[in-house]
Amino acid sequence: MKPLLLLITLITTLNAASEPYIFTNHDGKTLEDTIIKYDIEKEEVLLENNGRQPLSLFSETDQRYILQWNQLNGFLSTMRFKLTLDKDRWARMKQEQNRTPVYIALDRRPHFDTLIHQTTPLEEYEEYSSIELDAVGFSLKLRNQNFFPLENITVQSKVIYEETLFQTSDSFYESESDLFDEIITEQRVRVREESISMLVPLEEITVHSATAILTEQKLDRTLLTSEEEEEEDTSSIEGGDWSDHNRDREDDFVGVWFRIGIPDPSGQLTWRHISYPDDLFEELIWDEL
């Protein structure tokens, strides 16, 4: 499966260099400055006004802040933390069957909520039914190309699709007041979440979305006649043209939205987003799905 060429966009970006922070050393002295860079090999932090300082100079709380700041910068880098989205078809099933239908004459009596009906087998007709189920999902590859681990990653995904439903059953009705053939559409969203405790340098891991179960149903009522019978006009019966009551419904896949989060130095999750189609998350709001 070839990767989809998607645009990876950051909705939330963090310019840590523009945010001053009050640091404290082991003696309780404070210093307000802004982190520019952290050197993991030398264990030194580069400050905007005070230059390079050893990590050990700072309090344990500030050391955790510096390390988390460094993780967040590595997480937000599209070069050092790569995301690749693939579309998968995990299962497919198709079922076909033929059966003789039943004609249902329907009547609504005054002061009665239930419908009065009478069934008549139609042996000269055959009902052809085809149902196809398609399980569509997505896999997301996360690759850490930083020189340090990324910890406490949260991956959430939402698969969105539209399910079409008949307002009534598949039977053939004689009625002037009820819309038995009308199709309604409902949006479905399936959610999945998982946590990754750590991604070590150069590690690649694959996570999966929930599955969208898409249904396609075709119901074709065809007149089965001999050549002699074809000359007769038997294409309609009382209550309407039989061919007008064929059914065709198909669910529609809308898209998938992944968001990947990591805690910032304050403990709040900062998200990166990737979707298919690539502009899906620009058109929708996560909390409203």
- 233-250 pLDDT, tens digit each: 444 444 445 455 567 888
Of 282, 224, 281, whose CA–CA distance to 256 is shortest?
281
Q: What is the pLDDT of residue 283?
A: 87
Residue 179 has pLDDT above 80, yes or no: no
Q: What is the pLDDT of residue 234?
A: 45
Q: What is the pLDDT of residues 214-226, one digit of tens each?
A: 988 887 766 544 4
Of 159, 161, 190, 135, whose CA–CA distance to 254 is shortest?
161
Lowest pLDDT segment from 15-24, 37-46, 101-110: 101-110
Q: What is the pLDDT of residue 181?
A: 59
Arithmetic mean of pLDDT over the chain: 80
Mean pLDDT of 158-177: 69
- 19 falls in which pLDDT band (50, 70, 90)? confident
Q: What is the pLDDT of residue 3?
A: 42
Q: What is the pLDDT of residue 46?
A: 94
Pairwise pLDDT comparison (224 vs 81), residue with the higher score: 81
Q: What is the pLDDT of residue 6?
A: 35
Share of the chain above pLDDT 90, in %: 49
Lowest pLDDT segment from 26-35, 136-145, 146-155, 232-241: 232-241
CA atoms of 66 and 72, how far apart (whole Å): 10
Q: What is the pLDDT of residue 169?
A: 55
- 160 falls in which pLDDT band (50, 70, 90)? very high
CA atoms of 190 and 211, how far apart (whole Å): 7
Mean pLDDT of 126-154: 90
Q: What is the pLDDT of residues 253-268, one digit of tens each?
A: 999 999 999 999 989 9
Alpha carbon 275 to chain centroid distance?
A: 8
Q: What is the pLDDT of residue 5?
A: 33
Residue 16 has pLDDT above 50, yes or no: no
Q: What is the DSSP letter of 148?
A: S
Q: What is the pLDDT of residue 221?
A: 64
Q: What is the pLDDT of residue 106?
A: 64
Which pTM was predicted?
Answer: 0.75
Share of the chain above pLDDT 70, in %: 71
Q: What is the pLDDT of residue 93?
A: 80
For residue 153, what are the contacts with CB-CB under 8 A and spacing of at least 6?
75, 142, 195, 196, 199, 260, 261, 262
Q: What is the pLDDT of residue 9?
A: 34
